[in-house]
Chains A and B, each alone.
Chain A
Amino acid sequence: EAQVTQNPRYLITVTGKKLTVTCSQNMNHEYMSWYRQDPGLGLRQIYYSMNVEVTDKGDVPEGYKVSRKEKRNFPLILESPSPNQTSLYFCASSLSRGSGQFFGPGTRLTVL
């Protein structure tokens, strides 16, 4: 089954404790991206990747890192999480830029 998976689905952590949210897709998609969704602000892109070893900043990259060492995986790293990073995070992938994206199920992160 074609899908984008994210882990964990829910996470409660404390300020400053490094965390990684994994994202994996099994559709051989080149384009992958991370979004955060906050009430009243909609979906905002954090980082995206055109292909292996090619990543770039979206609208709200501060406080986040990503890597794309393999085509299928695109982890999101929060080196020192802060409460303003409490949000719902989505990973998404698509065949190419500008085409319809498949979204993962979301990760709800709370930073205390």
Chain B
Amino acid sequence: EDKVVQSPLSLVVHEGDTVTLNCSYEVTNFRSLLWYKQEKKAPTFLFMLTSSGIEKKSGRLSSILDKKELSSILNITATQTGDSAIYLCAVPYNNNDMRFGAGTRLTVKP
């Protein structure tokens, strides 16, 4: 069965720490993997990854895809309290469906 698994489910760090969030997938006909950040309301798009080994970067956030390992990581350096959110990973599968992982809840303490 196609699935998307994120780890850890929950993470508590202090400001300034660096965190690494994981997403693994098992889908046929892989096309892309997407990362989203969900604070109190709707998810907002962070990155789309299609090629292995090419890092996408936005400020303190970066992400990379490993097609061999069927996984992706999202790194956040020098975390701030504003980074506290649920981080979601999503992969299109079958024809056009989109499957989301359960998310990683990140809490950054001052």
Q: Give which listed residue, B32, B42, B102, contacts A105 with CB less than 8 A.
A: B42
Whether A103 pairs with B99 at a CB distance below 8 angstroms is no
Binding stretch for chain B, among A16-24, A41-49, A66-74, A75-83: A41-49
**Which residues of chain A have a CB within 8 Å of any CB of chain B?**
31, 33, 35, 40-45, 48, 50, 56, 58-59, 90, 97-106
Whether B45 pairs with A100 at a CB distance below 8 angstroms is yes
B67 close to chain A: CB less than 8 A: no
Number of A-B contacts (CB under 8 A): 62
Whether A58 pairs with B97 at a CB distance below 8 angstroms is yes
The size of the chain B interface, using a CB distance under 8 A, is 22
Interface residues of B in 9-35 (CB under 8 A from A): 31-32, 34
What 1/0 mask marks residues of chain B from 24 to 61 whose CB sits below 8 Å from any chain A CB? 00000001101000000111110110000000000000
